A and B are shown apart, each in its own frame.
Chain A
Amino acid sequence: MSIRNRILAILALIALCVFYLVPRDVTVRERDPDTGVVADRTIKRVPLKLGLDLQGGMHLALELDQSKQVSADPKRDLDLALTVLRKRIDEFGVSEPVIQKVGDERLVVELPGIDDPARAKAIVQRSAFLEFRITDETNALEKAIPAMDRVLRGMGIRGAGPSPRPSAVEQLLGGDTASKPGADTAAGAPAGGARDTAARDTAARDTAAAASVGDEGGVLAGLLRPSGAAGGGAPGEYMVPETAYPRVDSLLSIPAVARQLPRGIALRWSAQPMSVGVESYRFLYALEDRPIITGSNLEDAQAQIDPLTNGPIVTFQLDRAGGRKFGEETGRHVGDYMAILLDGRVQGRPPVIQSRISRNGQITLAGRTLQEAQDLALTLKAGALPIPLQIVEERQVGPSLGSDAIRSGITSGIIGTIFVVLIMVLYYRTAGVLAIVALTLYLLFTLGGLSMLDATLTLPGLAGLVLSIGIAVDANVLIFERIREELAAGKTVRLAVDEGFKHAMSAIIDSNATTVLTALFLFQFGTGPVKGFAVTLILGTAASMLTAIFITRTLFLIWMDRKPTMATLSI
């Protein structure tokens, strides 16, 4: 190849890399935090993809959580979850998210520049399974409580049992009969209809273990109270003091206890505690087993502020089929109470069905922010996850840490480069200067290559780049040393240069090939950041070979062309 063609080839390469590194317009999809409006914005920036560890963001690995619900077809469910997540994150408005399946059982979600990780996680993880159920009107739970307590007693669980919350009943009663003083308060009213003197005595004897009310009356009887009796609640609604909620929940989930409930009835908790008087209660609902309709018939959902209560609500529209079914069911149940469940939790207190409802409905979210309502609308619209997902890996880097990392990476890169430049020029003189030109192009090619391959520059990758500045000169060093040897053996300048390049070649190729081989394995096994390191290493090795073998050679040719009579080489 003539010198002219060589120069043209090099210029073309430089132009290509510069083209890939020049800042360009990139469309970024963002969501306004105040209005929730998603808008596309165009910004100018270098088209080099930065890893989450450099620009800040969140990486999640998710798997189907089959601890509560076993998937019939995990493969299909995972694919389904993938599409649902895509829709949700699209709505959420993250710029350049990555949502992909890794292997057969894992999804990876990468959200760059996330500033509210908890919210992002909630959006990814929320099942968003919406259903409507009629509350039980047969007092099934109330009737089953004595049987349940008998079972519990049989298992040795009494009121005073392993309860870690001795104050539970005290609080329950305190809220009810606040006027009564002292120990008498605890004994005042065990619970709906289950008052008995035995309980009164036990409680008076030992107020600390107030849950011992159940010694005779039964632990559940002491903790569960139908709210309908207390005032105005829906049928099938029961109040449990918030402090006793974990205990009741675990007691009710004992299989032998759960079996006491008649068929066709399911128990569900309210999503949030509610204050009644000064105390905080959790509501337990006995519901019809069969939902009258689920969120799969949902067509659209929006977050709004209810003009009456000033609280956030989510309004929704059902599709035609859903509307017809919903209309039929609500028409049959006029006067009944309908619970709205999201992911198995009852939202708000069930409203009474006033008349036939068809396609439009609303969910009231008491005590929550508009943002939460927006997130709920978003997840409802994107559809429900077939099976809940659990986060098996989470990495999150704040943007400040990322920019710190970039800054220190660049600083150490500059210092390292200065060092390399100094000793190259001091040691190899003019040839050293040529090597520096080659090194500059090496950096350009590596970064350009990253951009071309759409690869990601990560923190390890950045470190690898700095390290490679020190190692990239190796090929040049091999050549220069060889030329020196040839010169020392008494060869002419031109011959020594030719021989030097020729003989250094096999060492350069073999040594770089092994580097690439190990980097390939690194790429294969590594996760995101380390993959970035491997890519940088592979690209860097290729670029350093190219610059040494082709570009330094060309520079030498030009050099010798200009001084054809050169008797000694400045090397």
Chain B
Amino acid sequence: MRLFANAKYDFLSQRKWAYAISLAFSGVGLAVLLFAGVNYSVEFTGGTLIQVETRQPANVGELRNALQARGITGAEIQTFGSDREIVVRARVAREGSDANDTQATASAVGEALDATLGPGTYQILRTEAVGPKVGGELRQQAVLAILMSFLAVLAYLAFRFEWRFGVAAIVATAHDIIAALAFIAFLRLEVSLFVVAGLLTIVGYSLNDTIVIFDRIRENLHRLKRESFESILNRSVNETLPRTFFTGTTALGSLLALSILGGDVVRPFALLMLFGVVVGTFSSIYIASPVLLMIERRWPGPDAKGHLGPKTAAAPAGGRKPQPVG
């Protein structure tokens, strides 16, 4: 069995459609993000999260009142998995307490739970209490980590390929980050450290995918001296299509298993990665290669020389048409 063995799809000609879909998805997603705000986890905002398992289903309204009475306003209370597991998120410190001292808020939440559920009738499964100072630092570091990794990758690609390839790969990856943010907005996923780790993993996966294609493009540029640049792009994408498809499938398979069976803490990460694998594959084909073409047309590089220009592109020697060649 061999899938996509001699595929000759003309991917490049469909790039306008791809751009349109991407723009629409990311645009609406970012609008949602701007409008509704990012649903940061307490790690980033500062605050307290307590997950408890109760003997009886808890009365959420009562608990909310008890929290309010103890100076904690606007706490989020959710059931987690079953209705006997609840998660309380208090992002604002207890009134009048030093916000960086996480214990005041945490103990107030404990008191409220005692008051509504009765002491000893619940079990604390998980606590996260983060001061706003630590949260702010983390937020800053997360953004910094993503930007720095972009720079490092750009430098690496410029070293291994040339800067044109690097820029195209970064544009495709940036596209994936934006699309992933849109995805986060649509699903209202909570942005935790784990989810940021997911974003960086998407960066890695998408680059991985793009580089495999770029590697083939580089090889073909050296091998097929007479073919037009567009044709080489299409050819390279097609030649690597079986691998792209197959690796994507196995990755999606293990991610599906994770998102279904991996548990509630892992699920947001797994869902985001599922989307990331799809969008990473999409962008390596429909964003990275067309952007590379655009860059090479404007600033032709040594690799692409001889493959560009009206002569070679329109009527390559040997009378070939600028279409994928099997």
Cβ-neighbour of A397 out of B98, B125, B200, B258 (below 8 A): B125
A395 touches B128 (CB 8 A): yes
Q: Does A390 contact B (CB under 8 A)?
A: yes
Whether B14 is near chain A, meaning CB under 8 Å from some CB there, is no
Q: B19 interface residue, CB < 8 Å from A?
A: no
- Selecting from B27-35, B111-119, B225-233, B266-274, the interface stretch reads B266-274
B36 at the binding interface (Cβ < 8 Å): no
- In-complex Cβ contact of B254 among A466, A511, A513, A530 (8 A): A466
Take A514-B204, A521-B148, A522-B200 as given contacts and tell me if A394 and B243 are in contact as well, using a CB distance cutoff of 8 Å.
no
Q: What is the CA–CA distance of A423 and B207 in the complex, to the nearest angstrom?
A: 24
By the criterion CB–CB under 8 Å, are A463 and B200 in contact? no
Chain B, residue nearest A406 (CB): B263
How long is the Cα–Cα vector from A503 to B257 in the complex, in angstroms? 33
Q: Inside 8 A of A473's CB, which chain B residues have their CB?
A: 247, 250
| A398/B126 in contact, CB under 8 A | yes
> CA of A313 to CA of B219 in the docked complex: distance in angstroms?
81
Q: Are B153 and A507 in contact (CB under 8 A)?
A: no
A301 to nearest B CB, angstroms?
A: 26
With A416-B257, A427-B1, A513-B156 as contacts: A518 and B207 at CB distance below 8 Å: yes
Residues of the A chain whose Cβ atoms lie less than 8 Å from the Cβ of B5: 484, 488
> A530 touching B212 by the CB < 8 A rule?
no
Q: Is there contact, CB below 8 Å, between A526 and B102?
A: no
Are B260 and A416 in contact, with the CB atoms below 8 A?
A: no
- Residues from chain B with a CB closer than 8 A to the CB of A53 are 265
Nearest-neighbour CB distance to chain A for B73, whole angstroms, equals: 18
**Contacting pair A393 B142 (CB below 8 A):** no
B215 touches A510 (CB 8 A): yes
Verify A470–B252 contact, CB threshold 8 A: yes
For B65, what are the chain A residues with a Cβ–Cβ distance below 8 Å? none
Tell yes or no: B242 within 8 A of A by CB.
yes
**B262 CB-CB contact with A under 8 Å:** yes
Give the docked Cα–Cα distance between A519 and B200 (Å). Answer: 7
Q: Report chain B residues within 8 Å CB of A395.
A: 126-129
Within 8 A of B (CB), among A503-526: 503, 506-507, 510-515, 517-522, 524-526
Q: Is A69 an interface residue (CB 8 A)?
A: no
Q: B239 to chain A: which residues have CB within 8 Å?
A: 485
Are the C-beta atoms of B262 and A507 separated by less than 8 Å?
A: no
Q: Is B290 an interface residue (CB 8 A)?
A: no
Query: Is A117 interfacial (CB-CB < 8 Å)?
Result: yes
Q: Decide if A393 touches B263 in the complex (CB within 8 Å).
A: no
- Interfacial chain B residues near A404, Cβ < 8 Å: 263
B40 at the interface (CB under 8 A from A): no
* Chain A CB within 8 A of B298 CB: no
Task: Kindly name the residue among A392, A411, A488, A517 whose own CB sees the greatest number of chain B CB atoms within 10 A.
Answer: A392
* Alpha-carbon gap, A65 to B269, bound state (A): 35
Nearest Cβ on chain B to A448's Cβ, whole angstroms: 21
Min CB distance A243 to B, Å, is 17
Closest Cβ of chain B to A216, distance in Å, is 31
Stretch at the interface among A13-21, A189-197, A474-482: A474-482
A517-B156 in contact (CB<8A):
yes
Q: How far is the CA of A467 from the CA of B208 in the complex (A)?
A: 15
Known A-B contacts A408-B266, A409-B266, A534-B197; the reply to A510 vs B251 at CB < 8 A is no
Known: A121-B103, A391-B103, A517-B156. A396 touches B133 (CB 8 A): no
B125: A residues at CB distance < 8 A: 397-398, 400-401
Q: Which residues of A contact B266 (CB under 8 A)?
A: 405, 408-409, 412, 459-460, 463
- The answer to whether A409 and B197 touch across the interface, beta carbons within 8 angstroms, is no
Most A C-beta atoms less than 10 A away, residue of B43, B124, B246, B273 = B246
Docked CA distance A470–B119 (Å): 46
CB pair B207–A503 under 8 Å, yes or no, is: no
Q: Are B207 and A515 in contact (CB under 8 A)?
A: yes
- Assess whether A477 is in contact with B262, with CB atoms less than 8 Å apart: no
A478 touching B243 in the complex, CB below 8 Å, given contacts A460-B194, A512-B208 = yes
In the complex formed, the residue of A with least CB distance to B266 is: A463
The one of B211, B256, B257 in contact with A507, judged by C-beta atoms closer than 8 angstroms, is: B211
| Docked-complex contact A526 and B100, CB < 8 angstroms | no
CB contact between B253 and one of A390, A419, A518 (< 8 Å): that residue: A419
Contact B255 A467 (CB under 8 A): yes
On chain A, the residues within 8 Å of B193 by CB distance are 526-527, 529-530
Task: Tally A-B pairs: CB < 8 A.
Answer: 234
CB < 8 Å: which of B128, B146, B197, B242 contacts A530?
B197
A533 CB within 8 Å of chain B: yes
Contact (Cβ within 8 A) A390 B101: yes
Closest B residue to A404 by CB, please name it.
B263
Contact of A398 among B123, B157, B265, B273 (CB under 8 A): B123
Q: Which residue of B lies closest to A420 (CB)?
A: B250
Alpha-carbon gap, A506 to B273, bound state (A):
26
Given A395-B128, A481-B243, A525-B145, A463-B258 contact (CB < 8 Å): yes
Report the minimum CB–CB distance from B181 to chain A (whole Å): 17
Closest chain-A Cβ to B173's Cβ sits at a distance in Å of 9
Q: A517: which B residues are within 8 A, CB to CB?
A: 149, 152-153, 156
Tell me whether A511 and B141 are in contact (CB under 8 A).
Answer: no
Least distance between A137 CB and chain B CB atoms (Å): 37
- Kindly state whether residue B261 has any CB partner on chain A within 8 Å: yes
CB contacts (< 8 Å) of B258 on chain A: these are: 412, 416, 463, 466-467
Residues 311-335 of A, flagged 1 when their CB comes within 8 A of B and 0 if not, give: 0000000000000000000000000
B215 in contact with A470 (CB, 8 Å): no
A474 touches B263 (CB 8 A): no
Instruction: Check A527/B1 contact, CB under 8 A, given A392-B131, A481-B243.
Output: no
Q: Which residue of B lies closest to A65 (CB)?
A: B101
Do residues B212 and A524 form an inter-chain contact, with CB atoms below 8 A?
Answer: no
Instruction: Report how far A423 CA is from B249 CA in the complex, Å.
Output: 9
B183 within 8 Å of A by Cβ?
Answer: no
A404 to B125, CA, bound (A): 11
A392 B102 Cβ-Cβ under 8 A: yes
Once the chains bind, are B100 and A390 in contact (CB under 8 Å)? Answer: yes
Counting chain A CB atoms within 10 Å of each CB, the highest count among B124, B160, B204 belongs to B204
Tell me whether A393 and B129 are in contact (CB under 8 A): yes
Within 8 A of B (CB), among A443-480: 459-460, 463-464, 466-467, 469-471, 473-474, 477-478
Q: Which of A413, A419, A503, A514 contacts B250 (CB 8 A)?
A: A419
Contact residues of B between 1 and 37, Cβ < 8 Å to A = 1-2, 5
Task: Collect the chain B residues with CB atoms within 8 Å of residue A530's CB.
Answer: 193-194, 196-197
A residues less than 8 Å from B126 (CB atoms): 395-398, 401
- B247 to A61, Cβ gap below 8 A? no
List the 6 closest pairs (A to B, CB-CB), nearest first: A470-B254, A416-B254, A412-B261, A416-B257, A525-B145, A511-B208
Given pairs A117-B124, A514-B207, A518-B149, 19 additional interface contacts (CB within 8 A): A67-B98, A121-B103, A394-B103, A395-B128, A413-B254, A416-B257, A426-B1, A427-B1, A460-B269, A467-B254, A473-B247, A474-B243, A484-B2, A513-B156, A514-B157, A519-B204, A521-B148, A522-B197, A522-B200
Q: Can you list 9 pairs linking A and B with CB atoms under 8 Å apart? A: A391-B103, A423-B249, A424-B250, A463-B258, A467-B254, A478-B212, A515-B204, A518-B152, A521-B145
- Residues of chain A at the chain B interface (Cβ within 8 Å): 53, 61, 63, 65, 67, 117, 121, 390-398, 400-401, 404-405, 408-409, 411-413, 415-417, 419-420, 423-424, 426-427, 459-460, 463-464, 466-467, 469-471, 473-474, 477-478, 481, 484-485, 488, 503, 506-507, 510-515, 517-522, 524-527, 529-530, 533-534, 537
